[in-house]
Structure 1
């Protein structure tokens, strides 16, 4: 079996507020079914990301979402200029990715990153994989 991730849905308390946040990040809104649901398409036009309204006790703050960008430092500066606040500005990590971190309105951890070839081919990669 060959699986490919093409859709991710997270639970949020306020779909409309989350739409505004994710549009600031640059995602393209393709479905808006308020107050319950919204769906975006990511830059490569192959992956979709959606929001589903959850009750107050259902929204999870343990979700970590990674968005890859080819020009991390420039994109982070653009987002700072749009008023978004980052917990960590672009930093080179020991796993050879450059990452910046912020939270969405529901506290989901977002990591904007650039990994280049190291995303799929780090020096410690298992050689039998792929």
Structure 2
């Protein structure tokens, strides 16, 4: 089994397209006003947004995108006007993360984990 894609809700697909393209995702399906799908710049995973009348209550969805050069990516996004809730910092789970939200309140985490992504010291054998 392999993860194909993650889909998050949006009340404004054109705004979502602009946001995720600014993050570096490549738009591959634009079915306005209901849906958009993107390719991640690395690997084979895709990501999509679908139109909804109402967003879920609570914190929304957490979506993680791994970046080989996290600090450089964040610096570039900040220079282009992207606002972050949390700048890159080292976490106790051995990942380096930065956090922001999309226009629909989904939490987007840009991170770098290296080998610790799948093989942390506490991995179950």
- Pairwise TM-score range, normalised by the shorter structure: over 0.9
How far apart are residue 4 of structure 1 and its match? Answer: 1.1
Matches of 2:67 and 2:19 in 1, distance apart? 17
Which 5+ residue runs of structure 2 have no aligned equivalent?
none
Q: Secondary structure at the match of 1:83?
A: coil
Equivalent residue runs for 1:85-104 within 5 Å: 85-104=83-102
- The question of whether the paired residues in 1 share the 8 Å contact of 2:6 and 2:46 is answered with yes
How far apart are residue 56 of structure 1 and its match? Answer: 2.2
Partner of residue 38, structure 1: 36
Partner of residue 5, structure 1: 3
Pick one of 14, 17, 36 that aligns with 1:16: 14
Equivalent residue runs for 1:39-54 within 5 Å: 39-54=37-52
- The question of whether the paired residues in 2 share the 8 Å contact of 1:61 and 1:106 is answered with no
- The question of whether the paired residues in 2 share the 8 Å contact of 1:37 and 1:51 is answered with yes
Matches of 1:72 and 1:90 in 2, distance apart? 7
RMSD: 1.3
Which 5+ residue runs of structure 1 have no aligned equivalent?
none
Deviations 1:96-127 (A, max 9, x none): 00000000000000100000000010000002
Q: TM-score if structure 1 supplies the norm length?
A: 0.92
Partner of residue 108, structure 1: 106
Matches of 2:57 and 2:31 in 1, distance apart? 18
Q: TM-score if structure 2 supplies the norm length?
A: 0.95
- The question of whether the paired residues in 2 share the 8 Å contact of 1:101 and 1:111 is answered with yes
* Change over 3 Å in CA distance of 1:121–1:82 after alignment to 2: same
- The question of whether the paired residues in 2 share the 8 Å contact of 1:11 and 1:60 is answered with no
Partner of residue 72, structure 1: 70
